[in-house]
């Protein structure tokens, strides 16, 4: 007696074909640097690049001031400035009809203003913090 249960051959075949045959959606966008550590108000250069081989639109989304410094067929170099707090700029691409993105992490720190303990006073405090010697 023949089985009446449907075989999932067609869906499996279609899934395999979409994985094996490359298309415009296989293009990758990248961002460099992936991580940056800056003083508050600082600036950083960010490169967005893509492996897209056809109709490419490439850009950078950010809340900070942005200048495009240079570009080529598959890349753009931006400078972000006056960065005031931690953020995640986002490189995006439209490759044909497929959109993808990559993000970076910017960590902002405040520079020490020289207030607080002076160098001479700091040495005295450091000795006071040493652990007692056990005999």
The answer to whether residue 14 scores a pLDDT higher than 70 is: no
**pTM confidence score:** 0.65
For the chain, the structural domain boundaries read: 24-110
**DSSP per-residue codes, 29-60:** EEEE-SEEEEETTEEEEEEEEE---SSEEEEE
Write phi, then psi, for 15 (nearest 5 degrees): -65, -40
Q: How far apart are CA 128 and CA 114, in angstroms?
A: 22
Q: How far apart are CA 134 and CA 40, in angstroms?
A: 45
Domain 24-110 has CATH 2.60.40.10: yes
The answer to whether residue 24 scores a pLDDT higher than 60 is: no
Q: How far apart are CA 50 and CA 34, in angstroms?
A: 15
Q: How far apart are CA 99 and CA 79, in angstroms?
A: 23
pLDDT digits (tens, 9 = 90+) for 43-97: 999 999 999 988 899 999 999 999 999 999 999 999 999 999 999 999 999 999 9
């Amino acid at each position: 007696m023949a089985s009446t249960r449907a075989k999932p051959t067609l869906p499996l075949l279609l899934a395999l074909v979409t994985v094996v045959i490359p298309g415009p959606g296989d293009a990758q966008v990248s961002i460099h640097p992936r991580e940056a550590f800056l003083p508050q108000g600082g600036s950083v250069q960010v490169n967005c690049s893509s492996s897209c081989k056809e109709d490419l639109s490439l850009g950078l989304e950010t809340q900070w001031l942005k200048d495009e410094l240079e570009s080529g067929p598959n890349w753009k170099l931006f400078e972000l400035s006056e960065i005031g707090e931690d953020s995640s700029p986002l490189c995006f691409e439209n490759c044909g009809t497929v959109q993808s993105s990559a993000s970076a992490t910017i960590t902002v720190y405040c520079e020490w203003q020289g207030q607080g303990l002076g160098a001479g006073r700091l040495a005295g405090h450091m000795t006071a913090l040493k652990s007692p010697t056990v005999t």
